[in-house]
Amino acid sequence: TSWRKPRGIDNRVRRKCGGTIRMPGAGYGSNRKTRFMLANGLKKFVITNVKDLELLLMHNREFMGEIAHNLSARTRKIVVERAKELNVKLSNGEARLKKAENE
């Protein structure tokens, strides 16, 4: 659940007593230009199927893809291969893929 303003008569947070959490205000927001930005300077876009990669084709300098957690290993493999073709970066491209063993 999201933040709800405390309204109780004896609430410590509402009365701003020491040792309690701060009340959120407008001044605690992050900069608009850097909001939702990852450490590498790109924003995240969740990919649920192969068609979602085409959306990132024109925006690959601004967004990077993140494969959704509920994709199967077979679909992940297809998404990773297509992302390499389109030159789209993936944040979790190696996740849940079996490595080819060199024998």
Residues paired with residue 63 on neighbouring β-strands, in sequence order? 43
Q: Model-level pTM?
A: 0.72
In a structure prediction context, what are the per-residue pLDDT tens digits for the chain, which is 103 residues long? 788 999 999 999 999 999 999 888 888 788 999 999 999 999 999 999 999 999 999 999 999 999 999 999 999 999 999 999 999 999 999 988 877 655 5
